[in-house]
């Protein structure tokens, strides 16, 4: 029998909003919405003060402002997010070599077998939280569990500034009692449908038969069935060993406006670009994943002319795929995802040619800065203008 795994899920609390409040004391204690303040803007993050009003990330900005008219809307502090994220991942790397970033402020860590070195998982997680708090002046919530699915649910359990430990023995009962709304990927509409059918907890969902699951989840049925039963064998895969790097988001409600989806897609592209550059990886392929309210999921891929990790190149490819689909067959979107594949790991170079790698990274940074200069800061920061790089306009 294999030894039970110990997985941490680390998630910064309202990361973007907390950074804005840290940097501008006048925002502290007030409802803050981070994102693009336009008719089709989407909330990237809501401070904890805005949440009692119902404001959530991935919600249309116009809706959030209706719910909380006194909220202060601020743009995304891109540079500070990258800096702070760098410091976060440096800290995580000191606790485990197996860290899988999910976004700039969220990661899985495989802590299996670290007890002798780092102590009991609960104490270790507490120390990690203290380290983050001291270095970043920001709080993180951590979930500790035997697999990724449970760890992610656990980090959300006592948010913000929380620690939840779910042991292998307690996992089944703990999961079964959670409200159905906590299930990944179903959105608010999915939750409503389940409640109408009398499914109130994840335990209720776990008891539904195969046929029912197929009717509800389509070809995703067995995936959701396993998760509802707390079974998740997926490994924690650090970016430098990944076959692809992706980012996706499920919306509380289906997004009816293609522009709103485009803005979120740009966020994803930035996250993915950041992860590639961090690891010195380059991608040869871009894939979009689009899911609808009935869980039907489609994907669209394109091979890139050349390997790249520049946000502008990735965005150009992702936007072209999206526009191609949206112009012909747009319908409201529940989930949008973007991933970069056919990764070039630069094997044989890293380490041997450390100077060359450094130089290459510097060139990439310079390229990103140049794009920023040419197309304005908003071309490469979240929620910005969606104008593609100039050379695309001449093609």
Which parts of this chain interact with Mg ion (CB under 5 A)?
11-12, 15, 105
Contact call for residues 33 and 43 (beta carbons, < 8 A): yes
CB of 88 to Mg ion, least distance (A): 10
**Among residues 155 and 201, whose Cβ is nearest to Mg ion?**
155
How many Cα neighbours within 13 Å face the side chain of 241?
Answer: 8
Q: Which of 49, 100, 106, 248 is catalytic?
A: 106
Contact call for residues 315 and 227 (beta carbons, < 8 A): no
Three-class secondary structure of residue 111 per DSSP: coil
Task: Judge whether 106 counts as a catalytic residue.
Answer: yes
Closest CA to 284 of 205, 234, 341: 341
Asked whether the CA dihedral 200, 205, 209, 212 is positive or negative, the reply is: positive
CB of 234 to Mg ion, least distance (A): 20
Contact call for residues 7 and 236 (beta carbons, < 8 A): yes
Q: What does each C-alpha distance from 232 to 53, 217, 228, 337 come to in angstroms?
A: 34, 17, 10, 21
CB of 159 to Mg ion, least distance (A): 8
Element (H, E) at 133: helix 121-136
**Among residues 11 and 49, whose Cβ is nearest to Mg ion?**
11
**Among residues 105 and 313, whose Cβ is nearest to Mg ion?**
105
Three-class secondary structure of residue 275 per DSSP: helix
Closest CA to 187 of 293, 70, 267, 53: 293
CB of 189 to Mg ion, least distance (A): 23
**Among residues 9 and 279, whose Cβ is nearest to Mg ion?**
9
CB of 197 to Mg ion, least distance (A): 31
Sheet holding 72-74, edge to edge: 43-46, 32-35, 72-74
**Which residue sits closest to Mg ion, CB atoms considered?**
11
**Among residues 105 and 110, whose Cβ is nearest to Mg ion?**
105
Which residues are identified as catalytic? 106
């Amino acid at each position: 029998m294999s030894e039970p795994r110990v997985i941490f899920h680390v998630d910064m609390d309202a990361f973007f909003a907390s950074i804005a409040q840290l940097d501008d004391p006048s925002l502290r204690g007030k409802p803050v919405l981070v994102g693009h303040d336009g008719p089709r803007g989407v909330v990237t993050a809501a401070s904890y003060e805005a949440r009692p009003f119902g404001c959530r990330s991935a919600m249309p900005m116009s809706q959030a402002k209706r719910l909380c008219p006194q909220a202060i809307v601020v743009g995304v502090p891109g540079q500070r997010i990258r800096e702070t994220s760098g410091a976060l991942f440096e800290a995580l790397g000191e606790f485990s070599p197996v860290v899988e970033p999910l976004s700039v402020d969220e990661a899985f860590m495989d802590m299996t077998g670290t007890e002798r070195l780092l102590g009991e998982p609960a104490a270790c997680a507490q120390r990690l939280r203290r380290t983050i708090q001291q270095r970043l002046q920001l709080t993180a919530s951590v979930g500790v569990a035997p697999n990724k699915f449970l760890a992610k649910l656990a980090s959300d359990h006592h948010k913000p500034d929380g620690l939840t430990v779910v042991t292998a023995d307690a996992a089944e009962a703990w999961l079964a009692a959670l409200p159905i709304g906590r299930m990944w990927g179903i959105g608010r509409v999915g939750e409503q449908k389940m409640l109408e059918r009398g499914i109130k907890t994840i335990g209720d969902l776990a008891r539904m038969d195969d046929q029912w699951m197929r009717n509800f989840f389509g070809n995703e049925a067995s995936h959701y069935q396993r998760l509802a039963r707390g079974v998740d064998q997926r490994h924690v895969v650090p970016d430098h060993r990944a076959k692809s790097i992706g980012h996706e988001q499920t919306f509380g409600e289906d997004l009816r406006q293609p522009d709103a989806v485009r803005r979120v897609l740009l966020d994803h592209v930035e996250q993915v670009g950041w992860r590639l550059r961090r690891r010195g990886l380059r991608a040869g392929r871009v894939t979009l994943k689009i899911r609808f309210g009935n869980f039907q999921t489609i994907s669209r891929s394109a091979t890139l002319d050349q390997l790249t990790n520049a946000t502008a190149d990735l965005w150009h490819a992702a936007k072209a795929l999206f526009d191609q689909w949206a112009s012909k067959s747009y319908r409201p979107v529940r989930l949008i995802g973007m991933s970069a594949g056919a990764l070039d790991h630069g094997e044989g170079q890293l380490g041997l040619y450390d100077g060359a790698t450094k130089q290459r990274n510097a060139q990439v940074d310079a390229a990103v800065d140049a794009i920023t200069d040419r197309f304005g800061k908003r071309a490469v920061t979240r929620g910005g203008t969606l104008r593609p790089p100039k050379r695309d306009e001449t093609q």
